[in-house]
Structure 1
């Protein structure tokens, strides 16, 4: 704001000053002066300062007389075309007759075109408005349209007391800066906090306020003002699946991989009957995009973050819906919470991305209503045998990426309501108890572990739709053991596991995504020939074969997020074979060959 401060006094409150605001003001002026620009959008989450920037520009346009007039219209949350037309007409002192919106639009457009060189500001737009239907021409001669909305996040601000230098004691000033950081760039939160603490210099008051903010235990004013504004963004998510995805994201650490949200949606949809995975993934990506577009999630280099105050709002909604929860992710805890915190009415527990190493022997939380337990990205070494004994309603268990965990307790075998079990990335995990009683299981991920044999009872998991056993270096499959029973499987990743026969997978009529290695060349050719000649077969595949004498390492060409990409994974990899005569899929995209250094006859059958 320095340049503006030198030219003129501020007309409005200066609590949102700073270099970013100065930059945004300059951008606004550049766009207003650009003849080819007709519509200017100011977007960001609730409370970010959109209306303030628009108000400032309105004041400056009037002061500098850059345009003949500025017309401000606040668009109500429940607006209609008719109401908006009437509102604009009243401000412009135009009479609109009748109820026909098209005729009213013609009158309004004609009047606006007569009034050259004006700026029309539509503030707080919540959904798409067809400007032509309202009667706002998109190319008005010399006129500009400014719209504020919650479509994308916008960072601006540096806290100050109406632009004046701070006179707080140095200790208090340090705490105030920490509080600004806790608000993490959300101007609404800082604004309310600043008004609450204005004039207060006693350090114990500031320490108390910082402690409350650390715990997100905001006062009544911030609760009512901040969370109410943010709640409107959630309420505007009219689709239940989008709301569910948003609430689930509040249970995850920051930043979070997009894939975790995608797979949570996949889990929910798999419960509701048969749908194609590609369709499910497309829908899930659209849902996540909607959360980003509403500024409830922020995206940076494929990582998603949720603002702390937005998370607070989301957790409040979960509680309002009747679910009791314990969320302590990202808190660097080294021990699991005390048993007293595991109350009998708990339904959701998230302890993800902490540093938990110890679960004391004898720990057996009495949580008969617990449905979701997230313990991924910790350092757990040991889980007591009795730990899962009283969690009979558990449906989702995520222990992934606990790379010090070597074995799982037998109480896991009794979780008969479990639908999703994630153990991926537990690189030292050698023992998994029998899973045969977990017949509700839909998704099982034990990739990147250290198991030598598959868990017992997999042949009983007839409802399984997603199985990932990839990247277990020493895992040997016994042909005909459990795979023929999994006739409902849609996603099967056995990358790195050798020993697949055609008979193991030929009855998997719903298989869409497949990665694995066949026991010999004959089985490889038979499988490819069968899928070439049939109407079904995986749309995404990574098929491998290597001569049994070859002792080299596998290389993974399988992208686990392939369904979110336009590129289809259709790959074959053949390594060091003495005889090269293979049938190839018709839709093959990539063929990878590794051949020993000697002259060998090479032939491929393409029909």
Structure 2
């Protein structure tokens, strides 16, 4: 980095960017070097241009009795006159937007003047706007360093006062997920906890509602809230909060997330799903750049402490805990008390062992319900009766559920329905009532053997239909797959289709529909016994 003039350090709040910049500053101050001038200043979100200029003026020795009477142009000339002949290091902590060096008349650090600008920010985008030749993401601590930091804050006396505490302390450390801010805050809070019972209680509180833990709700979360508040729009903020519905350390597929946003009507209306996907990917990029999500190719992950912050924010900073009901991976064998559902707007019970949903739940505001990866066997007829606002329903990965209740027809607003990887054997005719559906996923439902006529074709608003590895024979729909294809042809708004076809005649009919050919992303031809009968000319047109 010797030849790089501008270096940006970016990462989430509390990850240690300021600590790192402080070490750089101290190194300049206490280690022999050839810099003529080292300038350190905290910029922060609300610091104005004039204040930045005055601070630089003071540290360059420009501030005399006449300084306050000068306009910003004359001040800028004074700063330039001092810095143009010096090799300087300018260290800017916590910048939220581009700092215009030209307007300040600070010479741009480059190979010729050998000066340096090192800054910290929470956004990778700011690094780009600042023209950073080197962007360094400050990551959370690896386990060894995280554990060492936590032990330091707790202290040896507490840590080894009882033989059970070290193991419990490791569990607490893992909850912090390597974030120094959380490690320090929680470590200090636990320094006076000298019994295993107190440590077990702390673990329960952190896992159940981290905002109730000492220092989290009044120190850690409010600091992280700054990044949330600085997001460019309410739409982006809503998309960010939605990510907290998924379990800890869950790799969220980007398209799955975007389709949920579409179902919730968070995104804008577009003529086709591609427009919505593009907007969704743009929002994901914004959240990744702000270090509020971690991007991994087709997936994103939310840091555990960021996720806890999002849940806290979704519940109006802890004041309305019923807004988001999130009990993921909690080993529940029964659904939470249905009285707590009444005020819920979004709810996630993913990754539990719930088998039955038998009570009627009155949820006038519930718009998303995630029941993915449970052990569901039965949903009562009246379960969906009082959910007038439900738009997103995910029942995927429940192999034990074989039938949907006829009462599902009581839902008035669903736009997203995911039944993939379930044991569903038939779709009820009542499903026709869900005429606002935009997304339907029936993939990997190998036991599905009956879809009533005119059910699929009734979803006239459908944008995405996933039927790859759906059913096990060509008579999944009364009349066979050819009749199913005829229904697919009726879906004029369909943009994405995945499908398995097991019948030559159905494939031939499929091949005559330009719309189906255009929107198909995955086509699996399975168990064909007379593929040779297909005309070569017909096959050549398939994209």
The answer to whether TM tops 0.5 is yes
Matches of 1:346 and 1:486 in 2, distance apart?
34
Query: Of the candidates 166, 178, 184, which is equivalent to residue 185 of structure 1?
Result: 178
Indicate conservation of the 8 Å contact 1:62/1:69, yes or no: no
Matches of 2:339 and 2:171 in 1, distance apart?
32
Query: Of the candidates 232, 236, 242, which is equivalent to residue 226 of structure 2?
Result: 232
- How big is each residue's C-alpha offset from its partner over 1:428-450, in whole Å with a ceiling of 9 and x where there is no partner? 21112122211222222222213
Query: Of the candidates 156, 164, 167, which is equivalent to residue 157 of structure 2?
Result: 167
Query: Of the candidates 65, 68, 73, which is equivalent to residue 32 of structure 2?
Result: 65
1:237 positional shift? 0.6
Matches of 2:457 and 2:251 in 1, distance apart?
34
1:378-397 equivalent positions in 2, closer than 5 A: 378-397=374-393
1:432 aligned partner: 427
Matches of 2:522 and 2:216 in 1, distance apart?
53
Matches of 2:415 and 2:427 in 1, distance apart?
17
5+ residue gaps in structure 2?
A: 124-136
Query: Of the candidates 466, 471, 478, which is equivalent to residue 468 of structure 1?
Result: 466
Matches of 2:113 and 2:494 in 1, distance apart?
61
Question: Secondary structure in 2 aligned to 1:114?
Answer: coil
1:368 positional shift? 3.1
1:439-588 equivalent positions in 2, closer than 5 A: 439-449=435-445, 450-456=447-453, 457-472=455-470, 473-474=472-473, 475=476, 476-479=480-483, 482-496=487-501, 498=503, 517-519=507-509, 524=511, 526-527=512-513, 538=518, 549-550=529-530, 575-577=531-533, 579-582=535-538, 584-585=540-541, 588=543
What is the number of equivalent residue pairs in this alignment? Answer: 499
By percentage of residues, which structure has more helix? 2
1:481 positional shift? 5.2
Question: Is 2:252 aligned against 1:257?
Answer: yes
Indicate conservation of the 8 Å contact 1:377/1:400, yes or no: yes
Pair 1:403–1:131, CA change in 2 (3 A): farther
- How big is each residue's C-alpha offset from its partner over 1:104-146, in whole Å with a ceiling of 9 and x where there is no partner? 5555344323221x32110011233343344331316232221
Pair 1:468–1:312, CA change in 2 (3 A): same
Query: Of the candidates 24, 30, 42, which is equivalent to residue 9 of structure 2?
Result: 42
Matches of 2:236 and 2:266 in 1, distance apart?
16
2:134 aligned partner: none
5+ residue gaps in structure 1?
A: 1-30, 502-516, 551-574, 589-607
Indicate conservation of the 8 Å contact 1:153/1:295, yes or no: no
Query: Of the candidates 43, 54, 57, which is equivalent to residue 89 of structure 1?
Result: 57
Matches of 1:585 and 1:130 in 2, distance apart?
56
Matches of 2:525 and 2:5 in 1, distance apart?
60
TM-score, normalised with respect to structure 2: 0.82
1:324 aligned partner: 323
Matches of 1:579 and 1:302 in 2, distance apart?
38
Pair 1:100–1:583, CA change in 2 (3 A): farther
Q: Which has the higher contact order (CA 8 A, sep 6+)?
A: 2
Indicate conservation of the 8 Å contact 1:270/1:442, yes or no: no
Question: Is 2:121 aligned against 1:129?
Answer: no
Indicate conservation of the 8 Å contact 1:470/1:497, yes or no: no
Matches of 1:193 and 1:393 in 2, distance apart?
39
